[in-house]
Amino acid sequence: MDSRILEIFSCIKQCAITLQELLQCDDSGYLASTNASGDTQLAVDVRADRILEDALLKLACVGGVCSEEKSSALYKQKVDSSLVESTFLQLDSSQSLESSLLIAYDPLDGSSLFDSNLSVGSIFGIYNGAFSASALVAAAYIVYGPRLEVVLACERVEHCVYSGGQWRSKGALQLESKGKLNAPGGTQKHWSKEHKELVESLFAKGYRLRYSGGMVPDLHQILCKKGGLFSYPATSDAPNGKLRKLFEVFPFAFIYERAGGEAINGRERLLSLSCDGLHDSTPCFLGSTEEIAQVRAIYMNKER
């Protein structure tokens, strides 16, 4: 594995410890501000974002970062590594550090669950030279649950737990061809007829409902239980879905594919999609191959 990715993974593990301590505070208060996606911000959202931005930009191999909490990316200038804000998906080579790694991250995903003391997470996509699906070279997430855990994906999907003051590997996460869990996101009254048919067909086969409203614990659970389907479809109130490509969907698509699963938007592979803006979103279906085949059958049939 590229030593630069190992360095980033090590930084994420260190930040995970710091962020878990941050989350032990009882400050689930909201700020008056909103983030780039219009979501009201928790004080911990802003503090988690600052911790990660400072730590990641300190790494020489990182040429820029983009946070779900901010409208523009921060790139290091080639001349003196000073930072420049930009809404572009990359700077031209004369400006940015060539062949540097760019990190898109969601510092605290599932903020609305924090005041109910449910598990939340942080998500990272590591891109080579540009914020695009084709440039994604590694992905990771942190789960702040009963245990502190990280999942680090490059060639394989490594599951690690923090216990006794040190990180320990729990081995590789691997999906089987079919699972038993169904995690259907979005407001049901805004689902399409086809999506309702898909969700109900899984329950009719005995799938168990496992949905907390936190993308990280919900997708982590399906990986740990070796199969199932997570969906956040296009809805009448969110025709492009809710989840963001760079910070949330592409990293998990990378992880699910490396774990032997699939990740589509209903028709196409998520990692084949273009991205026009830093905060673009997309409908997404991530899971075992048999469940994804069922999604394709229903959604492709809708097109006919």
Q: List residues near ligand AFP by CB under 6 A.
A: 39, 109-113, 185-186, 213-215, 242
215-224 vs 250-258: helix crossing angle, rounded to 10: 0
Per DSSP, the chain holds a count of helices (H) and strands (E) of 7, 16
Looking at the Cβ atoms of 39 and 197, the one nearer to ligand AFP is: 39
Q: Which contiguous run of DSSP H or E holds residue 93? A: none
Q: CB of residue 212 vs ligand AFP: minimum separation in angstroms?
A: 8
Q: CB of residue 121 vs ligand AFP: minimum separation in angstroms?
A: 8
Q: CB of residue 287 vs ligand AFP: minimum separation in angstroms?
A: 14
Q: CB of residue 78 vs ligand AFP: minimum separation in angstroms?
A: 34
Q: CB of residue 240 vs ligand AFP: minimum separation in angstroms?
A: 14
Looking at the Cβ atoms of 129 and 185, the one nearer to ligand AFP is: 185
Instruction: Please give the Cα distance from 175 to 289 (Å, whole number).
Output: 9
Looking up tokens 């996509």, which residue turns up?
125
Looking at the Cβ atoms of 135 and 292, the one nearer to ligand AFP is: 292
3-23 vs 43-57: helix crossing angle, rounded to 10: 150
Q: Provide the β-strand partners of residue 230.
A: 183, 286
Q: CB of residue 82 vs ligand AFP: minimum separation in angstroms?
A: 32
Instruction: Please give the Cα distance from 269 to 286 (Å, whole number).
Output: 10
Looking at the Cβ atoms of 40 and 81, the one nearer to ligand AFP is: 40
Greatest alpha-carbon pair distance for the chain in Å reads 60
Q: What is residue 62's three-state secondary structure?
A: strand
Q: CB of residue 303 vs ligand AFP: minimum separation in angstroms?
A: 25
Looking at the Cβ atoms of 90 and 109, the one nearer to ligand AFP is: 109
Instruction: Please give the Cα distance from 194 to 187 (Å, whole number).
Output: 14
Q: CB of residue 216 vs ligand AFP: minimum separation in angstroms?
A: 7
Looking at the Cβ atoms of 96 and 122, the one nearer to ligand AFP is: 122
| 8 A C-beta contact, residue 74 and residue 88 | no
Looking at the Cβ atoms of 68 and 262, the one nearer to ligand AFP is: 68
Looking at the Cβ atoms of 128 and 265, the one nearer to ligand AFP is: 265
Instruction: Please give the Cα distance from 134 to 132 (Å, whole number).
Output: 5
Q: How far is CA 165 from CA 135, 143, 252, in A?
A: 34, 17, 27
For every residue of 120-186, DSSP letters joined together read EEEEEEEEESSSSGGGEEEEEEEEESSSEEEEEESSSEEEEEEETTEEEEEEE----S--SEEEE-S
